Structure 1
Amino acid sequence: MLGAIGLDEAQESAYRVLVAVGAAEVPDLAHRLALPEADTERALRRLERQGLAARSSTRTGRWVAAPPGVALGALLTRQRHELEQAELTAALLAQEYRVEADKPAVHDLVEVVTGADAVAHRFNQLRLGAAEEVCALVTGRPNGVSGTDNEAEERAASRGVMYRVVVEREVLTLPAGIVELSIALGRDEQVRVVDTVPTKLVVADRSTAMVPLTGRGADPAALVVHASGLLESLMGLFEAVWREARPLRLRAGGAGAAMAEEAVPGPDAVDLQVLSLLLAGMTDASVAKQLELGLRTVQRRVKGLMELAGVTTRLQLGWHAYERGWVARD
């Protein structure tokens, strides 16, 4: 929790123990932290430089914690000041950039990024810098441009950034595909499925997009597109795929959510998972594998859904599922 003010895990743990016990010698502290004495002493010296710990004046070899209200308050004040300076610098640079970009040259509208590390870094910059919305097309083929990253997306969701993601059906068959999509749906992201998507694509705030340039086996490279006619075309491509895609519905809220759904007459949470995956184009066997159910269990649930809807074919079941609101296109 104190990493934001520059403490690593060992330093934070050492400070917490000192605060709890009042004072301690290095061997005792090392034992409590389960760390070598050399590492413990190194952490204490770093705490000393930051004003969070000091050597005891009454007993050689003992260390005491500085009062948290004073010591941490000073560090927080310094961090706030540095952050304010960084924000001011960022605002000035953004203003300079806008002035220079009023009439951008054609070659400034796109960037070519090469190398796995550079592509991944630029991609994270794109998503972490989004303020309103991230739109993504996701394929089942790995490369540097990906539409899902739980840690980054959680941070974005905490800032109120909306995600709209279209995945191709192959993603559902990947080992962690269903789990990651369930987590995404649990963050209230909108996820839809199509048979295939034309390309991987990420668009942040309708102002910057990123698409891969290389195919499988080649060194990663990507194209970063800024505000231009090309960007508008890429956004139009996303919207066209989004309109044709089918919404994905999976249980993402745990047992409580399952109980809430089962209290209402109609399909239970597992039924809706089965139905959503079938409407995404998966076979009974694939659904059984992804949900860790038996094939006969899946088929029995489908039969139960057909009886509940009062239909005799799976085609009719899909139509009734939309009519009854079990799944939705919008």
Structure 2
Amino acid sequence: MLGAIGLDEAQESAYRALVALGAAEIPDLAHRLTLGVPQTERVLRHLERHGLAAQSSARPGRWVAAPPGVALGALLTQQRHELEQAELAAALLAEEYRAEATEPAVHDLVEVVTGASAVAHRFVQLQLGAVEEVCALVTGQPQVVSGPDNEAEEQAAVRGVEYRVVLERDVLALPAGLAEATSALERGEQIRVTGRVPTKLVVADRNLAMVPLTGRGSAEPAALVVHASGLLESLMGLFEAVWREALPLRLGTAGTVAEGETVPDTTDLQILSLLLSGMTDASVAKHLDLGLRTVQRRVKGLMEITGVTTRLQLGWHAYERGWVAR
């Protein structure tokens, strides 16, 4: 928890122990932390340099914790100041870069990244650098990365970055496909599903894109990173075209209903959404861990609730009642 101010696990544990005990000698503290005496002394010296601990003037060899409100507050203030200076430096460098690259050479508009590790790292880096929006096309054939990195997505979501993602229908058939889609929806992402996605693609802030250069099973994976250019505009146009034709995926949430109206439960809504995405009854049953007859029975129940006789009518009524989105 205190790693943000430069403390590792042992240093944080030592400081917490001193705060809890009030004061302690090195052997007692080492025993409590299950560390060696020399290592415990090094940890305390580190805390002392950061103003978090000090040796007792009344009892030599005894260490006391500095008040957290004062000591940690000072470190946090320093950390904020350093971050502000770093942000200012980044802004100045960005301005300098823009001034020098008003007319970039053609070869500077694209970069080739090779190697699985380098491609995966650049993929995450692209998302972490996003400020406003990340748009992605995700295919059902994983290459170096199978979809937007969960940790990177979560960090971006905390910063308020919006995600628009189009999934190829086969993605939902992958072992963790449905679970990952559900988690993404819970984070507020917009997800749509289509039968086929032309290529894997990620675009950050309409300013930087990444597409694979090599197919599945290639000896050395490679990707193309595209900077602001006509090519980037074309890739963004491709995404928007696929997005318009795809169907929204909504799992586990219901719209507003009238008083006294029968409301489908979470499982019913999942079944409806997956069926509307193009999955068969058997596929829905498999991925929701239900029996085929259970799925069919629930669909029949929804048809009875809405008073319809065909599934086409059911889809229309589900939209009208806010159970699913277009």
TM-score for both structures, normalised by structure 1? 0.90
Preserved CA contact (<8 Å) 2:124 2:149: no
Distance 1:27 1:286, change over 3 A: farther
Preserved CA contact (<8 Å) 1:143 1:216: yes
Once the two structures are TM-superposed, the CA of residue 60 in structure 1 deviates from its matched residue by 4.6
- 1:182 maps to 182
Whether 2:267 is the aligned partner of 1:270: answer: yes
Preserved CA contact (<8 Å) 1:145 1:212: no
Whether 2:325 is the aligned partner of 1:328: answer: yes
Greater Cα offset, 68-77 or 238-247: 68-77
Preserved CA contact (<8 Å) 1:261 1:269: no
Matched residues in 2 for 1:39 and 1:308: separation? 69
Whether 2:286 is the aligned partner of 1:289: answer: yes
Q: 1:255-297 deviations in whole A, cap 9, x for unaligned?
A: xx89x99985232221110011111122222212221222221
Matched residues in 2 for 1:103 and 1:112: separation? 20
- 2:70 maps to 70
Preserved CA contact (<8 Å) 2:116 2:222: yes
Preserved CA contact (<8 Å) 2:169 2:195: yes
- 1:148 maps to 148
Distance 1:17 1:320, change over 3 A: same
Whether 2:116 is the aligned partner of 1:119: answer: no
Matched residues in 2 for 1:91 and 1:319: separation? 50
TM-score for both structures, normalised by structure 2? 0.91
Preserved CA contact (<8 Å) 1:147 1:165: no
- 2:243 maps to 242
Classify the secondary structure of the residue corresponding to 2:18.
helix
Classify the secondary structure of the residue corresponding to 1:137.
strand
Q: How do residues 132-143 of structure 1 correspond to structure 2 at under 5 angstroms?
A: 132-143=132-143
Classify the secondary structure of the residue corresponding to 1:70.
helix
- 2:234 maps to 233
Q: 1:199-251 deviations in whole A, cap 9, x for unaligned?
A: 11111111111111111222221111111111111111111111111111112
Greater Cα offset, 238-247 or 83-92: 83-92
Once the two structures are TM-superposed, the CA of residue 170 in structure 1 deviates from its matched residue by 1.4
Distance 1:146 1:110, change over 3 A: farther
Whether 2:301 is the aligned partner of 1:304: answer: yes
Unaligned runs of 5+ in 1: none
Distance 1:277 1:262, change over 3 A: farther
Classify the secondary structure of the residue corresponding to 1:223.
strand
Distance 1:212 1:163, change over 3 A: same
Matched residues in 2 for 1:299 and 1:328: separation? 21
Whether 2:280 is the aligned partner of 1:251: answer: no
The count of corresponding residues between Structure 1 and Structure 2 is: 324
Matched residues in 2 for 1:192 and 1:41: separation? 56
Identity of paired residues, percent? 79
Greater Cα offset, 19-28 or 226-235: 19-28
Classify the secondary structure of the residue corresponding to 2:137.
strand
Once the two structures are TM-superposed, the CA of residue 192 in structure 1 deviates from its matched residue by 0.7
Distance 1:165 1:44, change over 3 A: same
- 2:12 maps to 12
